[in-house]
Amino acid sequence: MADSTLVFLVLGLTLMAFVWGRFRYDLVALLALLGSVLLGLVPAGEAFLGFGHPAVITVAAVLVLSRGFERSGLVDVIADQVLKVGDRLFFQLVALIGTVVVISGFMNNVGALALLLPVAMRLAREHDASPSLLLMPLAFGSLLGGLTTLIGTPPNIIIASYRGDLTGEAFGMFAFFPVGASVALAGFAFIVLVGWRLVPRRAGKATTDAMFDTANYLVELEVEEGAKAVGWTLSDLHRELEETIPVLAVVRGETRRAGHAFHGQLREGDILLVEAGPEEMKLLEDKAGLRVGAQPADEEGGDEAAATKAAQNQARQGQGKEKEKRTRVDTEGLQLVEAVVRNDSMMINRTVTQLRLHNQFGLHLVAVARDGGRLKQRLRDIRFRAGDVLLLQGGESELSESLGTLGCLPLASRNLTLGQPRLLLMSIAVFAAAILAMVLDLLPAAVALSLAALLSLLIGVLPLRDAYQAIDGPVLVLLAAMIPVGEALESSGGAALVADGLLVFGSDWPVVVTLLALFALSMMLSNVINNAAAALLMAPIAASLASGFGVSPDPFLMAVAVSASCAFLTPIGHQSNTLVLGPGGYRFSDFWKLGVPLSMLVVALAIPMILLVWPL
C-alpha cells in the first residue's frame, strides 16, 4: 500500500476520533503519531522531535506570560474598568468584546476569555440580565482578537513556523496584523451592532440560585436522640449511604461550620444543612436516622428556617404534590462557587467518585447544570462533560488551586485586585522587550518569548508552580504529536495529491477561486477538530497548491491561518466556544445563528485583504 494511502487512512481515523470526542484530542494525536511510526510513515528516531519544535515552545511561553499578566494585575485593571459601563447592553458588548479583542492579540485567546468570563457573568448578575446575550459574543471576540498577532492563537504560530521551514523566513510578530485586524474590526462592529440580536435570549438570571434553584433542595436535618448517625463523622455518613449527598454545613448551638471543614463526630441535636431531594431525604432517614428539623438553626437563619418549614410541608403533603415557592436559603459563609469544566479538564468522562473530589481535593459537589438547566440525576452517576457548570463547596484557600488542578474555570464574581504596581510594570516591560526583539529580528519568537517567560519567573511575577499549571499540557501534546504527522502528509505525497485534486477543480477558474475553496475547507475543518490540528493538516496542502499554481505560498498560508481560527459554527471547534456553552445555556444549534453570518463576513473580507497584503 502506498505511503500516501496509509497517511490518508491514519488521518481519516484521526479526524473521526476528533469528531467522536470519546477520547481527548491529545490522546488521539499520540495514537496518530505512534500509528504513523509503526506504519513507517514517521521515522522512529524523529517521532518526538515535535516536542522541541519552535511552535510548541512558543505556545508554552505565551501561556506562561498570559498567566503572569493575570497574576500581576494587568487584566484586573482592565476588568475593573469594564465593570463600570452601566446597564445598557450596547455599551456592555462594546466594552467586553473590545477588551477581549485587544488582549487576545497579546495573550492566548482562551486565556483572555477565561479572564473576562467572570466579568461578563458579574455584569449580567448586577443588571439582572441573561448571560447568553454576552457570552457567545465574548467567545467570538476572543477568536477574532487572536487573528491580529503571531502569538494570539496557535494556528498563527504554526503557520509562521511552517513558512520558516518552507522559505527560510517565518512570519513576524505583526505580519498577521493587516488582515487579522481588518477582520477583527469588521467582526467586532457586526456583533455589537447587529449580531447580538441573533444570539438566543435564554430565560433565567445569571445567579447561583437561578442556575441551580438552590432553595428547592437545601433542607435542615436534625440528629435526634438515638439516631444511628450519633458518633459518626461526615465521612462515615457518606460511606454508610454509599451516595454523594453534600452536607453544606453542620450547626451546633450558635455555631455553623461549613461541611468541608467539619471533621468531628456528630452529636445529638446537631443540625445538618443538606443538599437533598425527596429520595435522598428518605435515604438519610432510613440509614442514618436523620429527620427534618423542627426549629431554625440560629437566629440569623431566617431563610434556612423557611427552607426547613417548606421541607416539613413537603414531607407531610407527599412527594408528588406541587409545593409553593419557598424563600431562598442563606448560603453566606458556605463558600459556594460556580465553575465550568474546560475542554482539557481531567474531570471529563469521569464521575465524582472516580475523582475522589472530597478526599483528594477537599471539594463537595453540590449540583451540576448542563445546557442551562440543573441535572436531576444522582450526583454519583453523572459523568462530567466539557462545558458543565458545577456548584462546588470548599475552603477559600484551596478552591483556586483545586479548580486549577481539575481543569475548571471559576465563574463566581471575584474580588478584583489591582496587583502590585511594581510587578505590573515589570511584567509589561519584560513582554515589551520580547516583542521588540522579535520585531527587530534580534531573536526568534520561541527564544524571545521563552526568555521573557523565564525573566517573569526570576523577578517574581509568577511562582514556578503557577507557571507549570499555566502550561496547557493537552494542547502542547497535540501540537508535538501532530507536527510529525503533518510532515508525513507532505513527505508521502499526500498533500500533493489533495492539491492536485484542487488544481484540477480550479483549472478553469481564477486562482482566487481555489484560494476561496481552501479557506472554506480549512474553516469547516476547524469547526469539528482543534484549530491547531486543522492548521497543521492544511499547511502542507496550502503550500502544495501554491507550488502547483506557481505563485507565492504566502496568501495560501495566510488563508489557512485566518480560517483555522474562525470556528464560529459549533461549540466544539474551539475551547472558547465550549467554555461559554454551559454558563450561557446554549444549545449546539445556537452557534449557527450568529456563526453563519459572521463566517460569511470573514470570508468576504479576508480573501480580498489577503490578496491585497500578500499578492499572488
Portions of the chain given CATH number 3.30.70.1450: 209-317, 336-410
Integer Cα distance of 441 and 131 in angstroms: 44
User: What CATH code would you report for 209-317?
Assistant: 3.30.70.1450
Q: Is the pLDDT of residue 313 over 90?
A: no
Lowest mean pLDDT, pick from 108-112, 536-540, 566-570: 108-112
**Confidence (pLDDT) at 218:** 66
**Confidence (pLDDT) at 365:** 83
Mean pLDDT of 593-614: 95
Residue bearing cell 510529525: 484
Amino acid type, 523 = M
**Confidence (pLDDT) at 261:** 73
**Confidence (pLDDT) at 177:** 95
Report DSSP letters for 521-558, one per residue.
HHHHHHTTS-HHHHHHHHHHHHHHHHHHHTS-SHHHHH
In this structure, what are the phi and psi dihedrals at residue 297, rounded to the nearest 5 degrees? -70, -35
Band (pLDDT 50/70/90 cuts) for residue 304 is very low
Band (pLDDT 50/70/90 cuts) for residue 293 is low
At residue 300, the 3 state secondary structure works out as coil
Residue of higher predicted confidence among 230 and 372: 230
Mean pLDDT of 503-519: 85
**Confidence (pLDDT) at 297:** 37
Q: Is the pLDDT of residue 602 over 90?
A: yes
Q: Is the pLDDT of residue 15 over 80?
A: yes
Cα dihedral 234, 235, 237, 241 sign: positive
**Confidence (pLDDT) at 386:** 83
Residue of higher predicted confidence among 384 and 495: 384
In this structure, what are the phi and psi dihedrals at residue 342, rounded to the nearest 5 degrees? -80, 165
Q: Is the pLDDT of residue 461 over 60?
A: yes
Amino acid type, 390 = L
**Confidence (pLDDT) at 203:** 55
Q: How many CB atoms lie within 10 A of CB 87?
A: 11
In this structure, what are the phi and psi dihedrals at residue 335, rounded to the nearest 5 degrees? 55, 50
* Structure-derived torsion over alpha carbons of residues 529, 103, 469, 171, reported in degrees to the nearest 10: 60
Integer Cα distance of 562 and 143 in angstroms: 10
Q: Is the pLDDT of residue 457 over 60?
A: yes
Integer Cα distance of 288 and 214 in angstroms: 23
Q: Is the pLDDT of residue 308 over 50?
A: no
At residue 247, the 3 state secondary structure works out as strand
Mean pLDDT of 38-65: 89
Cell numbers describing residue 486: 503533518
**Confidence (pLDDT) at 298:** 39
pLDDT in tens, 467-498: 887 887 888 888 889 889 888 888 888 888 88
> Which residue from 282, 303, 299, 265 is spatially nearest to 221, judged by alpha carbons?
282
Q: Is the pLDDT of residue 327 over 70?
A: no
> Which residue from 593, 562, 580 is spatially nearest to 147, judged by alpha carbons?
562
Band (pLDDT 50/70/90 cuts) for residue 342 is confident
With beta carbons less than 8 A apart as the criterion, state whether 169 and 559 touch: no
Residue of higher predicted confidence among 574 and 335: 574
With beta carbons less than 8 A apart as the criterion, state whether 556 and 503 touch: no
**Confidence (pLDDT) at 611:** 95
Lowest mean pLDDT, pick from 20-24, 274-278, 520-524: 274-278
Q: Is the pLDDT of residue 154 over 50?
A: yes
With beta carbons less than 8 A apart as the criterion, state whether 33 and 468 touch: no
- What's the mean per-residue pLDDT of the chain? 81
With beta carbons less than 8 A apart as the criterion, state whether 120 and 135 touch: yes
Integer Cα distance of 121 and 112 in angstroms: 15
Q: What kind and span of H or E run contains 390?
A: strand 389-394
Mean pLDDT of 197-202: 84
Residues near 347 by beta carbon (within 8 Å), at least 6 away in sequence: 341, 355, 384, 406, 407, 408
At residue 341, the 3 state secondary structure works out as strand
**Confidence (pLDDT) at 286:** 81
Edge-to-edge order in the sheet of strand 271-275: 255-258, 247-252, 271-275, 218-223, 290-292
Largest CA distance in the chain: 89
Lowest mean pLDDT, pick from 308-312, 419-423, 527-531, 609-613: 308-312
Cα dihedral 303, 309, 312, 317 sign: negative
> Which residue from 612, 596, 610 is spatially nearest to 542, judged by alpha carbons?
610
Q: Report the percent of the chain where pLDDT is more than 70.
A: 85
Lowest mean pLDDT, pick from 84-98, 345-359, 412-426, 512-526: 412-426
With beta carbons less than 8 A apart as the criterion, state whether 591 and 601 touch: no
Mean pLDDT of 562-572: 90
pLDDT in tens, 41-51: 999 998 899 89
**Confidence (pLDDT) at 357:** 83
Q: Is the pLDDT of residue 11 over 60?
A: yes
Q: Is the pLDDT of residue 614 over 80?
A: yes
pLDDT in tens, 416-452: 444 456 677 888 889 889 999 988 888 888 899 999 9
> Check: CATH 3.30.70.1450 for 336-410?
yes
Integer Cα distance of 233 and 239 in angstroms: 10
Q: Is the pLDDT of residue 142 over 80?
A: yes
In this structure, what are the phi and psi dihedrals at residue 393, rounded to the nearest 5 degrees? -125, 135
Q: Is the pLDDT of residue 290 over 50?
A: yes
Band (pLDDT 50/70/90 cuts) for residue 315 is very low
Residue of higher predicted confidence among 321 and 275: 275
pLDDT in tens, 369-381: 886 677 877 777 8
User: What are 247's strand-pairing partners?
Assistant: 274
Integer Cα distance of 277 and 214 in angstroms: 11
User: Could you write out the three-class secondary structure of 416-482?
Assistant: CCCCCHHHHHHHHHHHHHHHHHHHCCCCCHHHHHHHHHHHHHHCCCCCHHHHHHHCCHHHHHHHHHH
Q: Is the pLDDT of residue 317 over 70?
A: no
